[in-house]
Amino acid sequence: MTTNNTPLLTIDNLDVKFRLDRETVHAVRGVSFSLNKGETLALVGESGSGKSVTAMSIVRLHPDNMTEYGADSKIAFEGVSMLDAPPETLRQLRGNRIGMIFQEPMTSLNPFMRIGEQLGEAIAAHHPKTPAEQIRARCKTLLERVGINETERRLKQYPHEFSGGQLQRIMIAMALINEPDLLIADEPTTALDVTIQAEILDLLHDLQRQMGMAIIFITHDLGLAEHYAENVCVMRHGQIVEKGGIKQVFADPQHEYTVELINATPKGLKEPQPADAPVLIDAKNVHVEFIVERSFFGKPRKTFHAVKGIDLTLHQGQTIGIVGESGSGKSTFGKALMHMLPYRGDIHFEGQDLAKINEKTRQKLKADMQIV
């Protein structure tokens, strides 16, 4: 994306320590990077590497009574020193010039308030003199912008009436209320299904192009960083071990930890399957149904068809991925293969029909069939 020569954000030699009851934890050590307008920077690393601590330090979200910043540490947002900024300045920047979305939307939303009330409250907090009709119209516009339709009905609903992906869209809408210059996205898709992850990240990418905002994208997945970011900082043990343009880092990684992360990224290539590999599992027309409601006399009145006519053949040494959103039947089918649920259809393991073997044989097979 097009940027100018003046960084929107500059972090220089950031050190962060947390004073706990019995010890002091040095969470971030000497972190330095800059971010231009309209740019996406990925902070990549394993859990505990200091990614979120670094990002939350930008808006000073850590408790003041237990957080110690280094004497030489500097964070400047368009020239404003964030580590020295008074509370009033921080309040003006948080949610206004700098937006944030987090991993678990349910922890950020009030389960007892309708979505329209929560969006409206956020708008009124920054624009207290806005008339109620304008707030309502703005809420509808925000939901439409993040891909949620039927806005009139949706604004009247509570958080539990939305899916995980829809809730994250709502959190994005709240973060965009004031069209921020910087959006901090702290693992925004980790708790979502794979199919929904791409939708949310594509949405953020599209909104970024429309609004020209910069994004700090926090993730443990270097593959996602490669797809969505221009620049990357690889963090480990509170330090940046490598940084640069994403293409450069992938093409010529300098640190062994970066090499490990790149090698751990799935390449989409599969090992050649031996032509004579024996069939381990052969499943034909597998159905699984659950009784949802019974009559007074115990007869099934309503059933839920969780698995519908699946066929699958697995050869020895082969890996098969079963992918789908929550509720698509993945785990139910897996449990049927393990003979942990009643099913209709045929499932053979090493040539033996699981529905017809005796208990003694079934116990022996359990040593060869495991579920994690």
- 230-248: per-residue pLDDT in tens? 999 999 999 999 999 999 9
The CATH number that domain 279-365 falls under is 3.40.50.300
Taking residues 271-283, what's their average pLDDT? 82
In angstroms, the Cα distances linking 269 to 102, 265, 266 are 32, 11, 8
Q: Decide which of 146 and 274 is more confident.
A: 146
The rounded distance, in Å, linking the Cα atoms of 60 and 67 is: 10
The rounded distance, in Å, linking the Cα atoms of 188 and 204 is: 10
Nearest to 65 by CA among 24, 16, 18: 18
In angstroms, the Cα distances linking 207 to 147, 215, 249 are 11, 11, 26
- Please report the beta strands in 220-299, taking only residues with DSSP state E, as ranges in sequence order: 231-236, 239-245, 279-294
Q: What's the pLDDT at 1?
A: 45
Q: What's the pLDDT at 4?
A: 53
Architecture of domain 9-264: 3-Layer(aba) Sandwich (3.40)
Residue spans of the domains in the chain: they are 9-264, 279-365
- 16-40: per-residue pLDDT in tens? 999 998 899 999 999 999 999 999 9
Average predicted confidence (pLDDT) for the chain = 90
Phi, psi of 365 (to 5 degrees): -65, -25
- 155-199: per-residue pLDDT in tens? 999 999 988 889 999 999 999 998 999 999 999 888 777 778 888
The rounded distance, in Å, linking the Cα atoms of 353 and 281 is: 10
